[in-house]
Amino acid sequence: ASTASNTQKAQQYKASGNASYQKGKYKEAYDEYTKGINMKCGDKSFEAILHCNRAAALMAQKQYVHAAADCDAALALDPCYSRALQRRVDVWTAMGDYQQAVRD
């Protein structure tokens, strides 16, 4: 498959994930974001958004360690992505790790 078609599919998975998330179907949203990530579309900024969105779905399920890992992945792809940094601060705060939150 071409990179363009992979990007299009990844965007569809993101849209589907967003719709599931809005309905409170966090596991379903997680699965859709994961499918989007697995498309490996090559757009680092877009892949960072998928990881950050998946982190939100994980946070909603109280899976904080995995959410932090997705924030790390998002920041590795796009170090200037402020939403991923803010989400990671939210994860640390939810876990009660205020020192780590302050460091971020």
Quote the pLDDT of residue 104.
87
Q: How far is CA 57 from CA 5, 33, 34, 70, 100, in A?
A: 25, 9, 11, 10, 21
Question: What is the pLDDT confidence band of residue 3, given thresholds at 50, 70 and 90?
Answer: confident
Q: How far apart are CA 21 and CA 66, in angstroms?
A: 17
pLDDT tens by residue, 35-92: 999 999 899 999 999 999 999 999 999 999 999 999 999 999 999 999 999 999 999 9
Quote the pLDDT of residue 2.
65
Q: Kindly list the structural domains of the chain, giving each domain's residue range(s) and its CATH number in brackets, ordered by start.
A: 3-103 (1.25.40.10)
pTM, full prediction: 0.93
